[in-house]
Amino acid sequence: MRIVIIGATGNIGTAILRRLHQAGPPQTHELVGIARRLPDEASAPYAHVDWHRLDVSTPDATDRLAKILTGADTVIHLAWLIQPNHEECTMWATNVRGQRHLLDAVASAGVPHVIVSSSVGAYSPGPKHRRVDESWPTGGVHTSHYARHKAVNERMLDEFEAEHPGIVVSRVRPGLVFQHDAAREIAGLFIGRNLPTRWLGRVRLPVLPVPVQVVSQAVHADDLADAFARIVELRAPGAFNVAGEPVLGPSELGAVLGARTVIPMRRAVLRAIMWATWKLRLQASDTGWLDIATTVPVMSTERARSVLGWEPRRSSTSALRELLDGMAEDAHVEGSPPLSR
């Protein structure tokens, strides 16, 4: 099976390559990787992959992608920008226009199956006290650039499915994705370089002030990669929520961080602090990330379990702990430009 992975050197792409390499030699799959910056092809898991340097946002991306995709059985689309989040036009070019280029290339090359990485952030605001399935509206959260882009892409996929009924379209909607080796990248994307992060994995907080509305879901990158691999193998259509257990509320966050006391904090106060420090470029997370954490619904993963036979092997709390330990160690992957930057 020829599998093309776009954005194959990042957090999720690296985990998917690890999972697909598990077949061992002789390889079951012919793997093709596409990235803006090529990895060290001698380093695992980037070895035994046919690499192509390509930026999906460029005007010639559709034609170049179509040539690479010719003969592919499945395409996994992961390319996405979270930074620079002070420049939404730059992110839009990759996140939205890049997906348009990819889908046009899929149709042109006649690829029978495309898998797109969406997100819990695509969902419209919903309940935190009960779980919703994949039919919940995907209108996003309008105050978040990430959620807006994900929602636009969901509509694009709806249109693509209607126009190309012969192509199987799969959508994966994970929660937060953590792994040890992505610690340096994640810290840079969400905290930035102006604030120290290594203490997060070493210091146990005496007090954790956090809004009670902060209720999120997370999954280990390897568990998410297993869901992608199962979708490839089964050519399973439709959307799949993917998240580990338990749901991460204030008490769970406090336990992972070792906080003796968790104090409810007014959401408006934290939002004001985030906005001011982001505006001053002191830290890298805009207020849209808080809005996602406090408004998107809690997902049910029943469809992934029943259709794919998927089960997470790691808890969400252990995945978060692994990330924090990675931050303490400044963990990274030397062979991957985004994971080592």
Report whether pLDDT(27) > 70.
Answer: no
Q: What is the pLDDT of residue 25?
A: 57
Residue 168: pLDDT band with limits 50, 70, 90: very high
Q: Region 37-56: what's the mean pLDDT?
A: 95
What are φ and ψ of residue 332, in 5° steps? -160, 175
Q: What is the pLDDT of residue 155?
A: 98
Neighbours of 120 (CB within 10 A): 25
Q: What is the pTM of this model?
A: 0.95
C-alpha closest to that of 82 among 3, 147, 143, 21: 147
Residue 24: pLDDT band with limits 50, 70, 90: low
What's the CA gap between 227 and 210, in Å, rounded?
A: 31
124: helix, strand or coil? coil
Residue 23: pLDDT band with limits 50, 70, 90: low
Q: Give the distance, in angstroms, between the CA of residue 273 and the centroid of all CA atoms in the same chain.
A: 26
- Model confidence over 173-197: pLDDT tens digits? 999 999 999 999 999 999 998 777 7
Q: What is the pLDDT of residue 281?
A: 95
Q: Region 256-274: what's the mean pLDDT?
A: 94
Q: What is the pLDDT of residue 197?
A: 76
Say if residues 189 and 14 touch (Cβ distance below 8 Å): no
Average pLDDT over all residues of the chain: 95
> Alpha carbon of 32 to those of 6, 14, 46, 86, 230: distances in Å?
9, 13, 10, 32, 18
Neighbours of 317 (CB within 10 A): 17
Residue 199: pLDDT band with limits 50, 70, 90: confident
Q: Is 162 exposed, middle or buried (0-12, 13-18, 19+ CB in 10 A)?
A: exposed
The CATH number of 2-174+220-242+300-310 is 3.40.50.720
Report whether pLDDT(332) > 80.
Answer: yes
Q: Region 111-115: what's the mean pLDDT?
A: 98
**Percentage of the chain lying above the pLDDT 70 cut:** 98
Report whether pLDDT(269) > 80.
Answer: yes
Extents of the domains making up the chain: 2-174+220-242+300-310
Running DSSP on this structure, what letter comes out for residue 204?
Answer: P
Report whether pLDDT(26) > 70.
Answer: no
